[in-house]
Structure 1
């Protein structure tokens, strides 16, 4: 139910012009989302502090929201 509520809220935001609406649409349609990979990098033996440039390790995680759009929950999202 929480994902459905999030998807419905993002569906409303997706109608907004500009970057905010574009971000909401991206979250509703992209098959994967970027996330900071702290736990996975630690489990893989990578020390975040030793990464060149000291940038946070990013991973891609499956996005559950597009499945809700295909189920008709978000039929009015552009």
Structure 2
């Protein structure tokens, strides 16, 4: 999960388009694909889901920078556990 990528995804597309992309990648992973391809798709899905969450935070009234920081702290907090 990379915050600069999440920021770019958030800025580039609305949450609905990001969600549609997640669904396509999830369907791709269910096909007969190599483990390496699943790893790449999984990383993409993780970043897309992060951007969707940032959209949700901004829609709830947070500034973009605060939403990105909140999301980052949430991820780092879950890693520390």
Same fold (TM over 0.5): no
Structure whose alpha-carbon radius of gyration is higher: 1
Q: Which has the higher strand share?
A: 1
